[in-house]
Amino acid sequence: MVGRDKMTMRAVFLDKQTFSSNITFAAIEQQVSKLTCYANTARKQVFERCKDADIIITNKVVLTAELLAKLPKLTLICIAATGYNNVDIAAATRLNIAITNVSGYAGQSVAQYVFAQILEYYQQTCHHNANTEQGNWQQSDAFCYHGKTITELAGKTLGIIGYGSLGQAVAKLADAFGMNILISERVDSAEIRQGRVSFEQVITQADILSLHCPQTAATENLISAKVFTKMKPTAMLINTARGALVNSTDLLSALKTKQIAYAVLDVLEQEPPPADHPLLNAKLINLKITAHIAWASSEAQQRLIDLLSENIAAFKNEERLNRLDIVS
C-alpha cells in the first residue's frame, strides 16, 4: 500500500489557544510539510485560512457543509477533541474528506478534577484552612475546631451518565473511595445492559451525579427541571461534559430553591460565555463554575497532541485510525 507523501501535507491549526503555552506541537510538525497555527479563528476567517490546506486541525472552530464544499484541497480534518458536533460529518464524508477525533487522553485529568471538587465539597478543605488563617483554632478551648461538617465518601452513591473512558476513570477512583457506583443506561432505552441501571434509578439514588456523555439531539437539556425534581435534595451535580446537557435556567431555579444541594460546572452551553450569563451572575454559594479546564492537565494536553500526530500518520499510510467519516 502506497502511503501519502509528507511533503504534500500542509496543515492549519485553527484554535491553538485552546492549549497551554508549554505544550509542544513537534509530533504534528514531523508528520506534515508545514504547520500554520492560529490562536483563534473567527467564522469569517476560516475559508481564507483553510483554502490551501490539506489538513485542518480544529478543537471548537465550526466546519460547515457550505465551507467544506469550497475546500477542494482538503483531505483530512483532525478534531482536537473527542466531541465532534462542530464538524458536519455527513458533508465531509460526501466530499471524501477523512475526519478523525481523539479519545482516551483526558481520563486521569477529568477524574482528578471531579474528585478534587467532590473532596472539596465533602471535606470542606478551604473552610477548615480559613478557620486557622482567621485565628479560630488558636482561640478554641478544645484541641480542635470543628467548623463545617466533614462527610466520608465511603458508602455514598455516585451516578455516572456516560461510561466511556472518562466515566470509567471516574468510576475507578470512586471504587477506591468505597463508593457505590451506578452506571446509567441511555434515557428511554428499552433494554438495560449488564452492569447498568435505568436513568431514572441513577437520578433518584445518586448522592453525586457526574456527566460524561456527548452532546447529541438526545442529550441536550438532559438535566432539566423534570430531573431536578427527582434528585435528592442533598445531591451534588458535576458537569465536565458539555454545557448544553444541563438546562441553565432550570439549574439556577433548582439551586435557589434547594431542590439539589450543590452544582459544579466546568462547561456552559456557550463558550466562552457571555458576561451576563445568568449562572455566572447568580452569586450562589452552592454553585461553582470553572472555565472548561477539567481535561487540561499538561499531561492530557500533550497526549492529545501526540494522538493527533498518530491520526495524521495513520491517514498518510491509508489506515483508519480514530476515523469518524462514514464508510458505505
Q: Is residue 324 part of a domain?
A: no
Query: Could you read off the pLDDT of 300-312 as tens digits, one per residue?
Result: 999 999 999 999 9
Distance CA 97, CA 125 (A): 50
Distance CA 54, CA 122 (A): 50
Whether the predicted pLDDT of 5 surpasses 70: no
User: Containing domain of residue 23, as a range?
Assistant: 6-105+298-316
Q: Are strands 76-79 and 98-100 parallel, antiparallel or unpaired?
A: parallel
Question: 148: exposed, middle or buried (C-beta count within 10 Å: 0-12, 13-18, 19+)?
Answer: exposed
Distance CA 237, CA 260 (A): 8
The predicted structure's pLDDT at residue 319 = 94
Query: Do 196 and 227 share a domain, yes or no?
Result: yes
Query: Do 74 and 143 share a domain, yes or no?
Result: no
Query: Do 88 and 164 share a domain, yes or no?
Result: no
Query: Do 76 and 178 share a domain, yes or no?
Result: no
Query: Could you read off the pLDDT of 140-183 as tens digits, one per residue?
Result: 899 998 989 999 999 999 999 999 999 999 999 999 999 999 99
Q: Is residue 222 part of a domain?
A: yes
Q: Is residue 168 part of a domain?
A: yes
Percent above pLDDT 70 for the chain: 97
The predicted structure's pLDDT at residue 328 = 52
The predicted structure's pLDDT at residue 78 = 98
133 is catalytic: no
Distance CA 184, CA 200 (A): 8
Q: How much is the average pLDDT of 276-292?
A: 96
Whether the predicted pLDDT of 6 surpasses 60: no
Q: Is residue 60 part of a domain?
A: yes
Q: Is residue 205 part of a domain?
A: yes
292 is catalytic: yes
Distance CA 174, CA 157 (A): 9
Distance CA 125, CA 112 (A): 16
Radius of gyration in angstroms for the set of CA atoms belonging to the chain, rounded to a whole number: 22
Query: Do 185 and 165 share a domain, yes or no?
Result: yes
Helices (DSSP H) in the chain: which residue ranges? 26-29, 46-50, 65-68, 89-94, 107-123, 125-133, 165-176, 199-205, 225-228, 248-256, 298-316
Q: Is residue 323 part of a domain?
A: no
Query: Do 127 and 57 share a domain, yes or no?
Result: no
271 is catalytic: yes
Distance CA 291, CA 280 (A): 11
Query: Do 202 and 251 share a domain, yes or no?
Result: yes
**pTM of the predicted structure, to 2 decimals:** 0.87
Question: What letter would DSSP give residue 261?
Answer: S
Q: Among 128, 196, 212, 292, which one carries the catalytic annotation?
A: 292
Question: 86: exposed, middle or buried (C-beta count within 10 Å: 0-12, 13-18, 19+)?
Answer: middle
The predicted structure's pLDDT at residue 1 = 37
Query: Do 23 and 158 share a domain, yes or no?
Result: no
Query: Do 309 and 265 share a domain, yes or no?
Result: no
Q: Among 152, 271, 299, 319, which one carries the catalytic annotation?
A: 271
Give the H or E element holding residue 101. Answer: none
Mean pLDDT, the chain, rounded, equals: 94
Whether the predicted pLDDT of 184 surpasses 80: yes
Q: How many domains does the chain have?
A: 2
CATH code where residue 99 lies: 3.40.50.720
What is the identity of the amino acid at 110? Answer: V
* Helix, strand, coil % over all residues of the chain, rounded to 5: 35, 15, 50
Q: Is residue 257 part of a domain?
A: yes
User: Using 50, 70 and 90 to split pLDDT, how confident is the model at 227?
Assistant: very high
Query: Could you read off the pLDDT of 41-86 as tens digits, one per residue?
Result: 999 999 999 999 999 999 999 999 999 999 999 999 999 998 888 9
Q: Among 128, 196, 212, 242, which one carries the catalytic annotation?
A: 242
Q: How much is the average pLDDT of 21-44?
A: 96
Q: How much is the average pLDDT of 83-107?
A: 93
| CB 270, CB 292: distance < 8 Å | no
Most confident range (mean pLDDT) of 4-13, 136-145, 225-234 is 225-234
Distance CA 229, CA 240 (A): 22
The predicted structure's pLDDT at residue 2 = 44
What SS3 state is found at 303? helix
Angle at 14 (CA atoms; ends 10, 19), nearest 5 degrees? 115
Query: Do 168 and 311 share a domain, yes or no?
Result: no
User: Using 50, 70 and 90 to split pLDDT, how confident is the model at 327?
Assistant: low
Nearest CA to 250 out of 216, 223, 219, 230 is that of 223
Query: Do 163 and 255 share a domain, yes or no?
Result: yes
The predicted structure's pLDDT at residue 127 = 87
Q: Is residue 327 part of a domain?
A: no
The DSSP bridge partners found for residue 219 are none
Q: Of 2-6, 83-87, 88-92, 124-128, which range is least confident?
A: 2-6
Query: Could you read off the pLDDT of 244-269 as tens digits, one per residue?
Result: 999 999 999 999 999 999 999 999 99
The predicted structure's pLDDT at residue 8 = 76
Query: Do 120 and 243 share a domain, yes or no?
Result: yes
